[in-house]
Structure 1
Amino acid sequence: MSISLRAAALRTALESALDEPVHLLVTDSGVRVYVPAPDVTDRAAWLRVIKALGSADAWGSTDAHGTPEVWAEVGNEP
């Protein structure tokens, strides 16, 4: 699986921000990353996450898998 440098940098930034493994999903349009969301009371962790998400094309959060997660997407580079 080959991912763009931007997607790899986002993955590294989120792993560093949360000290959690980041899961990748390669799609036809790019890469989506998922990471468990920090505790709602951990302001410092959320600030690190928001800073890391600044490089993503889109981002959000979900609890569809039973655990609150932050996700971000990086599109394919031309």
Structure 2
Amino acid sequence: MPHTTQQPASEPVGKPDYLTDRQWAGLTLGVLMGVVEGCERAELKGAWASDLGVAAVKGLRARLDELVVEEGASDG
């Protein structure tokens, strides 16, 4: 099994302006809980959950931004 790089997590993922604090907290918490559960089921130990959690939230934010842009384009 490959090892993680043990590099410190990159800069935090900021809340998008189009979500409330509560919405962002709930959404990211759900994603992070899913990552932790998946890592436990896969028996991945160490920094896997943290590294994958950061990647998942970054991907979530990027996709949300795309969806908001697409929604705005279809409205206009």
Taking structure 1 as the reference length, the TM-score comes to 0.28
**Relative contact order higher in (CA < 8 Å, ≥ 6 apart):** 2
Higher helix share: 2
| Higher Cα Rg, which structure | 2
Higher strand share: 1
Taking structure 2 as the reference length, the TM-score comes to 0.28
